[in-house]
Amino acid sequence: MTTELTLLAWTLVLALVQVLLPATLRTGETGVSYNASARDNEGPPVGKVTGRLRRAQANLFETLPVIAAAILIAHVAGRNGALTWWGAMLYFWARVVYVPLYALGIPYVRSLVWLVSLTGTILILVAVLLPAA
């Protein structure tokens, strides 16, 4: 399996972690009974960190289909190389760093890290879309 596909698989693990983190914190805020219920009412207000983790999760889920498709297209088309390797590395590690930055409420640096992940995605798309040398 290529490094790019391996990193995509680890990104899916990260996605599961990002599902579990805010869910666990929210259960702590509402209690198990509310979490197990149909949640017909809103429950208590969402805590700051829980809200941040939910937004970080939503952000990952906005970009995950694009990076997954780009990596899969590169793989199927045989376009893997330095650009896709670097792109997958930048995307994955930036997404890992992004979670604690968002949870801690660190501005600007978090946005720069997001731009690094976007750069990774763009590198893979360049490898896919540019004619092979």
What's the CA gap between 4 and 74, in Å, rounded? 9
Q: What residue spans of 31-108 are helical by DSSP H?
A: 32-36, 48-76, 82-103
Residue 121 near residue 91 (C-beta atoms within 8 A): yes
pLDDT category at 36 given cuts 50, 70, 90 is: confident
Which structure tokens are listed for 76?
A: 């199927």
Tens-digit pLDDT profile for residues 52-77: 999 999 999 999 999 999 999 999 99
Residue extents of the structural domains in the chain: 3-35+46-129
What CATH class is the domain 3-35+46-129?
Answer: mainly alpha
pTM, two decimal places? 0.93
What is the residue-averaged pLDDT of the chain?
Answer: 96
**Mean pLDDT calculated for residue range 45-57:** 97
Residue 78 near residue 31 (C-beta atoms within 8 A): no
Tens-digit pLDDT profile for residues 87-114: 999 999 999 999 999 999 999 999 999 9
What's the CA gap between 63 and 86, in Å, rounded? 17
> Higher model confidence: residue 56 or residue 133?
56
**Mean pLDDT calculated for residue range 16-30:** 96
Distance of CA 29 to the CA centre of its chain: 24
Which structure tokens are listed for 36?
A: 């197990």
Q: Is pLDDT at 133 greater than 60 in this prediction?
A: no
Amino acid letter, residue 90? L
**Mean pLDDT calculated for residue range 102-127:** 98
Chain position carrying tokens 């978090």: 110
